[in-house]
Amino acid sequence: MKILIQIGLSLILPAMVQAYDLGPVKLHGFLSQGYILSSKNNVHTDNSTSGGSFKFNEIGLNGTYQWRDSVVVSGQIISRDLGDEGNNNLYIDYLQADIQFNDWFGTRLGRFKTPLGFYNQTRDIDLARPTVFLPQSIYIEAYRPLVASTTGGLVYGNLHNDNIGDIDYELFYGVPGEDDDSCFARAMELMLSGNNLTMYARNIYGGKLQVTPPINGLRFGLTLTYGDTDLNYTDKLSGLPSRLRGSSEPMAIGSIEYMVNDFTFASEYMLNRQRSTLKIGGTTLHKDRLTKAEGFYIGGSYRITAKLETTLYWENFYRDKDDKHGKKLAATGVGVEVQGWHRAWVLAVRYDITDWWLVKAEGQLIDGAAITSPHYNQDLSELKQHWNSLALKTTFNF
């Protein structure tokens, strides 16, 4: 079934250059195919170092229906594959009823994209950005199952003041996604030396504030997100039921973006305060242990011609800012020092062949292995500090 959908879309999408109307429902969609190659360390897939991997695609179908003047019902289904993640299973990316009462108050009910930083809500939409991947210092692929979408309720609105500019807010509460087969779950199963790991995402809530001052092209953002997730598993050594409970208290992201002429400058900073409690059987191994993951990137994109855009940015990430060299991580026995940090220079090029077809290339010079997963690099002693990656991607959309 999945293969038929991919083949069907790949045949019809190139012929479609605008939205397809199914009566009152407007349909849009996209189809992306990528390739990842890396040196020394596997990233996002299990064989990126062995000739590269094509297990990297997204297919999406989006429908919007306006019911009278007050309610817009919209939904998006996605089939994606990134290494062992997704495996082109179909899932609901969002399905929501959007009711806007006035400019300063509206609500979305159902499953909606989680507001997190400037770019999380379009993280699976290749055509929405100039690079292949979002900066991993902020938008870590491993966390995607928990932060891509939320089922619950969200309120939003816009407030305007001639001196301050526009203030856009989103406040939300709900339950995040959880995927027991995700690479995050499998990686945690390895790190915890457990079996039969299941995720129970208890809640996620928070808010995003965006300020657009009366300076064309400039905007600032602040996101605060809280959430609790349990990982329940069987400890391999003892055979006892065990649980790792984690809480974000909060994940804070500060953002700035400035567009002037053909140049876009962007920078974001993330601090994720996480508390964790680990129990094996009835024994608490650690309680309320605090780690502070920290990430930052700065860079810009420049549109060279109407169709050609290039991006350069530098990013830095620590799994725990109080353990920048990974020594505490190595001492726990669940990781190695080089997994403590990630630094990278990233250069990307995007070429829009037509309005509905684009190609991209992205190279990364990387220092540190914090973004690698033990699921794809099971012998952690083989992880190397200095390595590179190359990603290619093409996307059709209508």
Partner 1 sequence: MVIAHPKTTVREISQHRLRQLYLNRSKKWADGSSVHLTVFVDQPATTVFITKHLGKSTAQFKRYWKQQLFSGKGIPPEYFKTLQELLQYIRTTRGAIGFIDCDAPPKGVAVIRLTE
The answer to whether 209 contacts partner 1 (rule: CB under 8 A) is no
Stretch that binds partner 1, among 107-115, 229-237, 291-299, 386-394 (CB under 8 A): 107-115
Contact 347, 362 (CB under 8 A): yes
| Min dist. Cβ of residue 248 to partner 1 (A) | 22
Binding residues for partner 1, total number by CB under 8 A? 44
- Token pair, residue 361, equals 């290339």
| Min dist. Cβ of residue 91 to partner 1 (A) | 15
62 vs 136 by CB, closer to partner 1: 62
| Sole binder of partner 1 in the list 47, 88, 91, 166 (CB under 8 A) | 166
The answer to whether 70 contacts partner 1 (rule: CB under 8 A) is yes
Q: Which contiguous run of DSSP H or E holds residue 79?
A: strand 71-82
Task: Give the count of beta carbons closer than 10 Å to the beta carbon of residue 66.
Answer: 14
The answer to whether 223 contacts partner 1 (rule: CB under 8 A) is no
Dist. CA 363–CA 389, nearest whole Å: 6
The answer to whether 128 contacts partner 1 (rule: CB under 8 A) is yes
Buried b (16+ CB within 10 A) or exposed e, 157-190: bbeeeeeebebbbbbbebbbbbbbebbbbbbbbb
| Sole binder of partner 1 in the list 2, 7, 10, 18 (CB under 8 A) | 18
Contact 165, 214 (CB under 8 A): yes
Closest CA to 140 of 274, 368, 295: 295
Stretch that binds partner 1, among 120-128, 178-186, 245-253, 359-367 (CB under 8 A): 120-128
The answer to whether 360 contacts partner 1 (rule: CB under 8 A) is no
The answer to whether 30 contacts partner 1 (rule: CB under 8 A) is yes
| Sole binder of partner 1 in the list 103, 288, 322, 382 (CB under 8 A) | 103
| Sole binder of partner 1 in the list 47, 88, 100, 277 (CB under 8 A) | 100
Dist. CA 194–CA 186, nearest whole Å: 10
The answer to whether 121 contacts partner 1 (rule: CB under 8 A) is yes
| Sole binder of partner 1 in the list 264, 267, 274, 339 (CB under 8 A) | 264
The answer to whether 109 contacts partner 1 (rule: CB under 8 A) is no
| Sole binder of partner 1 in the list 6, 47, 107, 158 (CB under 8 A) | 158
Buried b (16+ CB within 10 A) or exposed e, 29-62: bbbbbbbbbbebbbbbbbbbbeebbebbbbbbbb
Alpha-carbon separation of residue 201 from 77, 80, 141, 205 (angstroms) = 21, 21, 17, 12
Dist. CA 317–CA 138, nearest whole Å: 8
AA letter at 212: T
| Sole binder of partner 1 in the list 81, 85, 141, 168 (CB under 8 A) | 168
Of 296-315, binders to partner 1 (CB under 8 A) are: 303, 306, 309
| Sole binder of partner 1 in the list 96, 229, 339, 373 (CB under 8 A) | 96
Closest CA to 296 of 321, 326, 274: 321
| Min dist. Cβ of residue 353 to partner 1 (A) | 14
Alpha-carbon separation of residue 15 from 7, 279, 356, 394, 398 (angstroms) = 14, 56, 10, 16, 9
Dist. CA 71–CA 116, nearest whole Å: 24
Binding region for partner 1 (CB under 8 A)? 18, 26, 28, 30, 60, 62, 64, 66, 69-70, 72, 74-76, 94, 96, 98, 100, 102-103, 108, 112-113, 121-122, 125, 127-128, 158, 160, 166, 168, 216-217, 259, 261-262, 264, 303, 306, 309, 352, 355, 397
